[in-house]
Chain A
């Protein structure tokens, strides 16, 4: 048990639909990053939020968006789903001052787009 919870654990969506994935973390974890991990690949950085604002983004289109809330929870929203969006989505949280010492990952949400 890492203290970082993601929901749902599995999800099946149809191409063109929208999806919201959720992550809740420990108190004091003011930084959250979201990653996409395709099958057989390493995690790819989507974006990072700090104090409820996006402060870094990877090579993902604007239809990937996020929110971070004052209670240390966050969301990843994906619009206009494509088949290639099928992946494991991981959130990783920490406190900004100790983030360099490594993230705490959730177990992920497995998204399948059909």
Chain B
């Protein structure tokens, strides 16, 4: 079955890099995602990576995928106080019924210290 695990909490100083890690179990996952959730809000898609890629960079965000170890990471360069939020890792695959099944991790709370 599908399972996605993340560490619960990360604290970094403003200006440093943050690295949020995630492990997943389903080797048939096709896409992996990082979402951001601010207090009282829904989830905002930050970035995604296709399972045959190793890395994707988008401005301050770098996603690394180690498919062999089923490990996904999100690096945020020059972390700002506005980056404080909960970050969710998610994996998806197309189920036998033809729908895209997405499984989310439990989220990592990022605290940025000024």
Contacts and interface: CB of A to CB of B under 8 A. Distances in A.
Size category, A interface: 20 to 34
Given A102-B45, A105-B44, A108-B42, A42 B101 contact: no
A55 B92 CA distance: 15
Interface stretch (B13-21, B60-68, B69-77, B104-112): B104-112
What secondary structure prevails in chain B residues at the interface with A? strand
For chain B, which range describes its interface: under 10, 10 to 19, 20 to 34, or 35 or more residues?
20 to 34
Contacts of A4: 42
A59 B42 CA distance: 22
Interface string A54-73: 01100000000000000000
Interface of B: 4, 30-31, 33, 35, 40-45, 48, 88, 90, 92, 95, 97-107
Given A48-B100, A103-B102, 17 more contacts: A2-B42, A6-B42, A42-B104, A42-B105, A42-B106, A42-B107, A43-B43, A44-B104, A48-B99, A55-B97, A56-B97, A99-B100, A100-B30, A103-B45, A104-B45, A105-B44, A107-B42
